[in-house]
Chains A and B, each alone.
Chain A
């Protein structure tokens, strides 16, 4: 019934939690530096998200697409399109719910915010036998989860935009 590994009793999350996610990134980046922040995300991707990674490994790209549709349906303010191809799933994030809410709340967003999707997503993809790439950022972007046979070019981190005020 559910494509999400963890389920709440309400249809969508409380968007003010994006404040806490942004603040968590700022705390780890300021106190421990970028390398530890990337490690934090990679470990979370492998550990906390292990149930999702298993779903993806078993269910393949179809499971990836179903997960992201369900995921963004539960994120208030998201406007997202998920497209399935034979060797990849593309997630077009037209309106990032986090960036949108943080901006609306007048929060200073860490410039590296958009990179978290890559560091977290690539760790999850790797655990599922997939590859992940990210392009864009600063409020809208494209995530690609692909089979290894898709031979996606290496991620160019410069393709991930910094968040601007």
Chain B
């Protein structure tokens, strides 16, 4: 199927095919008839009928749809309609993807717009630089000729004020009072020269990802300070992440206040940028977040109003977020761990409300196929209560590893215990003790990445309870990866290191890759970095 996502790519290829097989006149006829009179008939109807008002209606919609980042500006003056394209979404697609299939892609615009303007009684002054920037001024036919000076119509939005308007690779094609591609001025910079011979245009795309032994850095999360306790999951390959906390005004070390966020962003399967998707119903962080069919199940968590008890399914339809209520938790919980096994969502532990947020021993299950039955309480594990634990499903069982035990001391202050233990839960056989991991791993990414063959679980980083003075200031979160072999029931440490260790971050599985969005690098400090890794490459 020819899709609209990469339309500009096969559109350009079609120009080359038509010109090669049927000649330049056929290509011009294609732009005029197929694009101008058929595909864009709605533009033609508006502009022929309404003139400049129709242009404003048409380009206001089309450019916003094609270029949501608004890499353009529109200016309407007396008897002139001007467009400045700063980052052409169409040419930008070709540049980012290294496509150069036709010698003058940019001509297609005046190829269909020119005849349309002629029929509407307008002429065009225009320049494009083949690097994704151009400007257009449409005036009634009969207007005296001569280009407007820089900034004369659109002021500071004039694309000619960009420092890269004539950068290396930029070659100006100029049109005065034109109505088609043949009106290109003979003295234009590209006259007689194929654009492909020009040096490459400067591009500002996402830099090549750095890859090291199964790790890849993705587009940074759009919250510059980063987030702790972010809520993340995936739906049909689209990464969805939002909520979380940071210290926007002052660092924690300077007494800054924690802020809980509600913004949600999506990263599409092939995406190089995150996109705003909407907002959570209320700010929330440290919730259980787990990818399930149809979206991301979010349960519990906390915000400025306290620890939450509700749960919902967050889904993304390609255009907007949707939230569907799910059965509330039996009690308010935050920093609880979640995993999915055989169509059931399991939640373990968490912290409850109170002057001391004590850790809990709850183990709850929800049947995704019949959620109306609510959360079922199951027998707890044979060990201490905990929050910020790791829970994951592998080999038909659940594994609960480490976590932070918090109890109220006799003087009312919290007592913490970094747990160094592990348990397996089989739905038909209950809990079993497992050998303890080499160290505690509190708030490590959960559900922990796992591989099927060999059957292994990978605990990334996690806080081990060592006092900060024992660790380098730049690396307070361990960067080693603990590996549990399900067959031998033994622990080891992978040779591979985690390049960007963080805590309080969910792990999101997409095929063989596991994604980690933002997170805390040490107390009060977050990072916007996003990483993905392939656990099959970590154990060598």
Contacts and interface: CB of A to CB of B under 8 A. Distances in A.
Contacts of B101: 48
Contact of B34 (A26, A32, A116): A26
A3 B269 contact: yes
A12 B101 CA distance: 23
Interface in B242-282: 266-273, 275
A139 interface: no
Contacts of A70: 237, 269-270
A76 to B, nearest CB: 6
A83 B4 CA distance: 23
Contacts of B39: 19-20, 22-24
Interface string A1-24: 111111111111111111111111
A20 B319 contact: no
B162 interface: no
A75 interface: yes
Contact of B38 (A17, A26, A69, A71): A26
Contacts of B511: 66
B40 interface: yes
A27 B269 contact: no
Interface in B162-198: none
Interface stretch (A39-47, A53-61, A145-153, A154-162): A39-47
Contacts of B415: none
Contacts of B99: 6
A120 B2 contact: yes
A10 B39 CA distance: 22
A48 B9 contact: yes
Nearest to B12: A48
Contacts of A77: 318
Contacts of B266: 11
Contacts of A73: 236-238, 268-269, 318
B93 interface: yes
A12 B318 contact: yes
A121 B1 contact: yes
Interface residues of A, number: 49
A74 interface: yes
Interface stretch (B62-70, B398-406, B441-449, B492-500): B62-70
B13 interface: yes
Q: Of residues B92, B205, B237, which shows the largest number of chain A Cβ atoms within 10 Å of its Cβ?
A: B237
Interface string A82-107: 00000000000000011000000000
A130 B378 CA distance: 50
Given A4-B270, A27-B38, A44-B10, A17 B4 contact: yes
Contact of B4 (A13, A23, A32, A48): A13
B7 A1 contact: no
B17 A43 contact: yes
B5 A20 contact: no
Given A9-B96, A23-B34, A4 B6 contact: yes
A163 interface: no
Contacts of B275: 10-11
Interface string B1-30: 111111101110110010001100010011
B3 A71 contact: yes
- State the main secondary structure of chain A at its contact with B: helix
Contacts of B479: none
The interface centre, meaning the residue of A5, A13, A75, A117 with most chain B CB atoms within 10 A of its CB, is A13
A23 B65 CA distance: 20
B3 A13 contact: yes
A74 B34 contact: no
B209 interface: yes
A40 B266 CA distance: 36
A114 to B, nearest CB: 10
Interface string B78-120: 0000000000010011001101010000000000000000000
B539 interface: no
Contact of B6 (A1, A6, A26): A6
B96 A7 contact: yes
Contact of A24 (B30, B238, B513): B30
A17 B7 contact: yes
Nearest to A96: B1
B38 A4 contact: no
Interface of B: 1-7, 9-11, 13-14, 17, 21-22, 26, 29-30, 33-35, 38-40, 62, 65-66, 68-69, 89, 92-93, 96-97, 99, 101, 205, 209, 216, 218, 236-238, 266-273, 275, 318-319, 511, 513, 532
27 contacts: A4-B6, A8-B5, A10-B68, A11-B266, A11-B267, A11-B318, A13-B3, A13-B4, A20-B35, A22-B39, A26-B38, A31-B29, A40-B17, A44-B2, A48-B10, A70-B237, A71-B3, A73-B237, A73-B238, A73-B268, A74-B5, A74-B268, A74-B269, A74-B270, A76-B318, A77-B318, A98-B2
